[in-house]
């Protein structure tokens, strides 16, 4: 496990040192205000724009390389703040933690910019994010302690520290990226979260990452001048990746001198909206059978838009929720006894009600989950019904003649609760047969009372055809739905039966050909 880097900055910032924080903030803000128009013109000239489409909410061509302005303004203000704190520029200042942090900034920024220009496949972007997470871990920016209290923590082994660190970095990168769907939404959330963390760092006397938070807040505020609705530029993936990475790395750096669970819990609370959206997105896509990393329009801001709110109203609503959660995180830190846990109860209840209101619980309804589990156990052959029908399939496969095959098929059809079955075989199945052979089975308790052609009858006509398109016959199945309905797995069982019969008939045909030769 990598060790901590060179400590070149003062560990504590005096309360009267607010001037440095203010200058870093203003530097980042004015840099963003000056650089963003330049980037806008450059992106338009290069054709790096978001064009209107079915997945886009906007109706105009908007440049999407605004992350360049965020990156430039942050790096200038951050490195300037490091020099300010040191009193004089020294190369050793940027070694280890700071050097790896800035290197990670460059890597994740250029990964996002490459994606904005070339539209990378999801797996390339994911591997790039993981690589950046590994980079910061190697540089000593890692989660070393976990604690469920404000006191003694548990030291993590190297492999677990690596997993937690990489997961945290990738999670926040994707959280900001997914929430970046409306004008000013991602930048505004990052602004409020960074201000919240900045206040907490000053109050706790552990301002190790104050410079980074000041630079981040200033960059976001200056960029919002052009990104808020109606936006003249989007941050693009280079911006959302960059913001997510900076938040992830700074919160880890702030947690390194305290217990990580408590320190990381603060941004988790403050980033409640994007993190919730990020965690629900893959679950929703998995349940609906969509690609887990594929795009969709069922994120929180999309759902609010579908409810009839305007873009600006949706952004302001999510801003308000973020500010509220920031206040909750502040209260959680200042109340340092058992009451801290109760502070999370109210926002927890509100989040649950909001998730229910947005319709996300429909994907996790008990009947849907239970139905999916039943399908899973049935497909895996774990249910008793599936295993008993499998036994019938094995009996059919062991059939040595057409008569024995038909007897076993009748057992299977009765098991499936059909009322009538008819098997019509082509002459190719039975050597010497000139016309088609027809075999019929009718349920005993139905007998002659079954009238074919009724409006409530469920009928299946299945060709017994091999992959080589050799047709051996037809299987007819009829069920009167007035007597009983079909079960949940009837069609699946019927398809298993059809394939089993085809396999046996194919064996009979090949055997007959061999005997003739």
Packing angle of the helix pair 272-287, 158-179 (nearest 10 deg) = 90
Q: Enumerate the CATH 3.30.450.40 domain ranges in the chain, comma separated.
A: 378-516
Structure confidence by residue, pLDDT tens digits, 380-426: 555 566 667 778 888 888 888 888 888 999 998 888 888 888 888 87
Structure confidence by residue, pLDDT tens digits, 138-172: 887 877 655 544 445 566 677 788 888 899 899 88
CATH number for the segment(s) 378-516 = 3.30.450.40
Pick from 87-91, 233-237, 266-270: least confident:
87-91
Task: Choose among 241, 121, 114: nearest CA to 178.
Answer: 241
pLDDT value of position 177: 85
Rounded Cα distance, 271 and 250, in Å: 14
pLDDT value of position 9: 41
Give rounded-to-5 percent helix, strand, coil for the chain: 65, 10, 30
Structure confidence by residue, pLDDT tens digits, 431-468: 555 556 788 888 877 655 566 666 778 888 888 888 77
Report CA-CA distances (Å) from 319 to 111, 191, 193, 219, 322: 28, 10, 10, 17, 5
- For the cut 80, the answer to whether the pLDDT of residue 316 exceeds it is yes
Say if CB 223 and CB 30 are below 8 A apart. no
Rounded Cα distance, 144 and 61, in Å: 46
Please give the full DSSP string across 427-477, using - where no structure is assigned: TTTSTT--S-EEEEEE-TTTGGG--TT-TTEEEEEEEEE-TT--EEEEEEE
Report CA-CA distances (Å) from 459 to 441, 443, 462, 485: 15, 15, 10, 13
Mean pLDDT throughout 189-210?
A: 75
C-alpha torsion angle, residues 322, 325, 326, 327 (rounded to 10) = 130
Tell me the Ramachandran region of residue 417: left when phi exceeds 0, alpha when psi lies from -120 to 50, beta otherwise: left
259 pLDDT tier (thresholds 50, 70, 90): very low
Pick from 27-31, 288-292, 488-492: least confident:
288-292
This prediction has a pTM of: 0.64
The structure tokens 């309804």 sit at 365
CA triple 271-277-278, angle to 5 deg: 90
The CA-to-CA distance between both ends of the chain, in Å, stands at: 72
């Amino acid at each position: 496990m990598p060790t901590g880097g060179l400590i070149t900055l003062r560990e504590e910032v005096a309360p009267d040192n607010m001037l440095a924080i203010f200058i870093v903030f203003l530097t980042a803000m004015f840099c963003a205000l000056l650089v963003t128009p330049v980037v806008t013109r450059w992106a338009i000239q290069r054709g790096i724009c978001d064009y209107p489409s079915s997945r886009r909410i906007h109706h105009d061509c908007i440049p999407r390389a605004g992350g360049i302005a965020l990156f430039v303004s942050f790096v200038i203000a951050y490195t300037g703040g490091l020099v300010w704190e040191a009193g004089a520029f020294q190369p050793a200042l940027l070694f280890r933690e700071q050097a790896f942090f800035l290197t990670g900034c460059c890597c994740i920024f250029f990964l996002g910019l490459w994606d904005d220009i070339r539209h990378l496949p999801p797996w390339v972007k994911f591997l790039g994010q993981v690589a950046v997470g590994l980079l910061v871990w190697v540089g000593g920016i890692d989660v070393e302690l976990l604690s469920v209290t404000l006191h003694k923590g548990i030291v993590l082994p190297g492999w677990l520290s690596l997993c937690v660190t990489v997961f945290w970095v990738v999670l926040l990168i994707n959280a900001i990226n997914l929430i970046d769907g409306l004008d000013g939404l991602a930048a505004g959330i990052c602004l409020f979260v960074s201000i919240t963390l900045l206040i907490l760092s000053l109050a706790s006397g552990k301002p190790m990452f104050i410079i980074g938070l000041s630079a981040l807040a200033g960059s976001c505020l200056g960029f919002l001048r052009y990104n808020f609705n109606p936006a003249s530029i989007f941050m693009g993936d280079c911006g959302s990746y960059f913001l997510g990475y900076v938040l992830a790395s700074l919160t880890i750096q702030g947690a390194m001198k305290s217990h990580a669970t408590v320190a990381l819990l603060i941004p988790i609370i403050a980033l409640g909206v994007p993190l919730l959206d990020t965690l629900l997105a893959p679950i929703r896509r998995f349940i609906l059978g969509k690609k887990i990393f594929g795009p969709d329009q069922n994120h929180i801001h999309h759902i609010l838009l579908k409810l009839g709110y305007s873009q600006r109203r949706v952004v302001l609503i999510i801003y308000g929720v973020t500010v509220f959660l920031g206040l909750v995180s502040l209260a959680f830190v200042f109340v340092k006894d058992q009451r801290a846990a109760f502070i999370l109860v109210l926002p927890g209840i509100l989040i649950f009600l909001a998730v229910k209101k947005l319709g996300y619980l429909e994907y996790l309804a008990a009947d849907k989950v239970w139905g999916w589990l039943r399908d899973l156990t049935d497909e895996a052959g774990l249910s008793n019904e599936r295993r008993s029908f499998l036994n019938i399939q094995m009996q059919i496969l062991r059939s040595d003649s057409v008569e024995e095959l038909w007897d076993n098929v009748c057992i299977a059809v009765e098991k499936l609760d059909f009322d009538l079955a008819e098997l019509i075989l082509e002459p190719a199945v039975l050597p010497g047969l000139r016309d088609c052979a027809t075999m019929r089975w009718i349920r005993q308790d139905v007998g002659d009372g079954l009238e074919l052609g009724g409006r409530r009858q469920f009928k299946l006509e299945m060709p017994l055809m091999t992959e080589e398109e050799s047709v051996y016959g037809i299987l007819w199945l009829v069920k009167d739905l007035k007597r009983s309905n079909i079960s949940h797995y009837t069609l699946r069982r019927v398809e298993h039966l059809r394939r089993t019969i085809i396999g046996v008939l194919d064996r009979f045909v090949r055997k007959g050909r061999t005997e003739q030769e």
